[in-house]
Amino acid sequence: MSATATTAAKPYTRTEMAARVARDIPEGWYVNLGIGIPTAVADHVPMEREVVFHSENGVLGMGPAPAKDAIDPWLINAGKQYVTLRAGGSFCHHADSFAMIRGGHLDLCVLGAFQVAESGDIANWATSENDTAPAVGGAMDLAAGAKRLWVMMEHTTKDGTPKLVRRCSYPLTAVGAVKRVYTNLAVLDVTPRGFEVIDLAPGMDFDTVQARTEAKLFLTRQ
Amino acid sequence: MIDKTVRSMAEAMEGIKDGATVLVGGFGAVGQPNALIDGLIEQGAKDLVIAANNAGVGHVGLARLMELGRVRKIICSFPRSSDPVVFETLYRAGKIELEIVPQGTLAERMHAAGAGIPLFFTATGVGTKMALGKEVRDIDGRQYVGEKSLPGDVALVEAWEADRWGNLTYRESGRNFNPVMAMAAKLTIVQAQHLRDLGAIDPDHVHTPGIFVNRVLHVPYGDPTGF
């Protein structure tokens, strides 16, 4: 990871980010994918690698979207999109579904975020300039309850404002919860000393990523 | 003979009072008791507190009830939808109170109410706005927020099958909040797609035992549509 010119740097596309996250999910994990960009991660986990996807409206063992002529109107996910159920899948009521989340039974939750702090704080449900009614859904339950919380998001906002920060300025979803962040530029672990860069997008270098990050970054110890 | 089935919507809605807390099942359109919500609109009770995951879509159902000025307060996790215009207009104008609750806490508050547990502690919301004004307790080295149960005066529930004792099954992701709401209310009113003879529902497959149910109305409406 040298500080060379970045003309050849190629940030991950959304699809590549999803594939990069999927690569790190082993067989046997129970996983909840948040509404928005994390949903695409499921498309990159091959069916023969048995990962069990949970949707908080009481679906365990969720499969991909149905063909247009095979929609089951009784089977939706948390984003209220039509989905399918894999063999071995099951339904439960909301309190049981959130017992899976809050009781620490999910191996992983992947959420989108507005900001992640170097302490692992996450802000993903409201922005201070948001004038519509706040809507939290299941984000706080997932962030506090899953065994691991990974965040998948663009490294900066559209205008270049860093989203990896020292301290979140937006209302918090959970304190000290994030373990890893996947962005279009890098993969970073949240450690006691702060963000450690563990992987970079093709051609990306550490200094370029640091320049687009408010928090101080560390290279992972080899 | 126990017979919880009722023959008309008027009979199903009888006795719902002004100021009642009404728990309304469903997640989006799936498992949402639309006929009973229309029945409540017709019945006329006002000054209602509604607990539901969402705050209505377009100008029908819950949105219609709010638009008619009949809802004082809504308790929900996610007031946004594909078309939340009624709620947002009322909220901006200060004409409706909103209590925003994390979705799992919302479900557990009703589950607790049904189980006779007035207060429980959860890690959800620690260090966030949701913990403001609530007791935070350190239990074995981790912090938890105290959340009170959410009992209802009335629950409106959508089931797939019901019998005259009020035993219920739900269909697929239509189960969602319905079972915990059925447990949490003093008066649980069910709309069921299919009425079965007593004993016809396999006891191993009953999702909500009849003890939690007061009234059953047969409403064979078909599949949910629209969100």
Q: Are B46 and B70 in contact (CB under 8 A)?
A: yes
Which pLDDT score, from 0 to 100, does residue A138 have? 96
Which pLDDT score, from 0 to 100, does residue A127 have? 82
CB contact under 8 A, A133 and B88: yes
Q: Are A205 and A4 in contact (CB under 8 A)?
A: yes
Query: Using a CB-CB distance cutoff of 8 angstroms, which residues of chain B are in contact with residue A138?
Result: 77, 102-104
In a domain, A1, yes or no: no
DSSP string, B121-183: EESTTTTSGGGTTS-EEEETTEEEEEEE---EEEEEEEEEEE-TT--EE--GGG-TTHHHHHH
Total domain count, chain A: 1
Query: Using a CB-CB distance cutoff of 8 angstroms, which residues of chain B are in contact with residue A134?
Result: 79, 100
Query: Using a CB-CB distance cutoff of 8 angstroms, which residues of chain A are in contact with residue B88?
Result: 132-133
Q: How confident is the model at residue A220 (pLDDT cuts 50, 70, 90)?
A: confident
Domains of chain B in sequence order: 5-117+151-218 (3.40.1080.10)
Q: Does A129 have pLDDT greater than 70?
A: no
Q: What is the CATH number of the domain that holds A153?
A: 3.40.1080.10
In a domain, A87, yes or no: yes
d(CA A191, CA A194): 5
Nearest CA in chain A to B25: A94
Query: Does the beta carbon of A141 lie under 8 angstroms from any beta carbon of chain B?
Result: yes
**Residues paired with B143 in a beta bridge:** B138
CB contact under 8 A, B175 and A172: no
**pLDDT tens-digit readout, B74-94:** 999 998 888 889 999 999 999
CB contact under 8 A, A135 and B78: yes
In a domain, A4, yes or no: no
CB atoms within 10 A of CB B99: 12
Which pLDDT score, from 0 to 100, does residue B225 have? 80
CB contact under 8 A, B122 and A140: no
**pLDDT tens-digit readout, B199-219:** 999 999 999 999 999 999 999
Q: Does B174 have pLDDT greater than 60?
A: yes
Which pLDDT score, from 0 to 100, does residue A1 have? 45
B226: distance to nearest CA of chain A, Å?
A: 10
Interface size between A and B, measured as CB pairs under 8 A: 142
In a domain, A8, yes or no: no
Going through A50-185 in order, the beta strands assigned E by DSSP cover 52-55, 59-63, 84-91, 108-111, 115-117, 122-123, 149-152, 164-165, 178-182
In a domain, A117, yes or no: yes
Question: How do beta strands B5-6 and A217-219 pair?
Answer: unpaired
Which pLDDT score, from 0 to 100, does residue A7 have? 62
In a domain, A7, yes or no: no
d(CA A17, CA A21): 6
B129: distance to nearest CA of chain A, Å?
A: 7
Percentage of chain B with pLDDT > 90?
A: 93
Tokens 């965040």 belong to residue: A151
**pLDDT tens-digit readout, A62-113:** 999 999 999 999 999 999 999 999 999 999 999 999 999 999 999 999 999 9
Q: Tell me what the pLDDT averaged over chain A comes to.
A: 93
CB contact under 8 A, A144 and B123: yes
Q: How confident is the model at residue A5 (pLDDT cuts 50, 70, 90)?
A: very low
Mean pLDDT throughout B127-147? 97
Q: Does B52 have pLDDT greater than 70?
A: yes
d(CA A91, CA B152): 25
Range of the domain at A70: 14-219
Report ipTM for this prediction.
0.95
CB atoms within 10 A of CB B87: 27
Q: Catalytic: A16?
A: no
Query: Using a CB-CB distance cutoff of 8 angstroms, which residues of chain B are in contact with residue A91?
Result: 170, 172-173, 175
Q: Does A203 have pLDDT greater than 50?
A: yes
Which pLDDT score, from 0 to 100, does residue A131 have? 54
Instruction: Label residue B204 exposed, middle or buried (CB < 10 Å: 0-12, 13-18, 19+).
Output: exposed
Residues, chain A, total? 222
Mutation to test the A interface, candidates B78, B95, B136, most A Cβ within 10 Å: B78
Query: Using a CB-CB distance cutoff of 8 angstroms, which residues of chain A are in contact with residue B181?
Result: none
CB contact under 8 A, A74 and B223: yes
CB contact under 8 A, B127 and A136: no
Q: How confident is the model at residue A2 (pLDDT cuts 50, 70, 90)?
A: very low
Residue in A16, A56, A129, A214 annotated catalytic: A56
**Alpha-carbon A142 to chain mean position:** 11
**pLDDT tens-digit readout, A150-184:** 999 999 999 999 999 999 999 999 999 999 999 99
Single pTM value for the model: 0.95
Query: Does the beta carbon of A172 lie under 8 angstroms from any beta carbon of chain B?
Result: yes
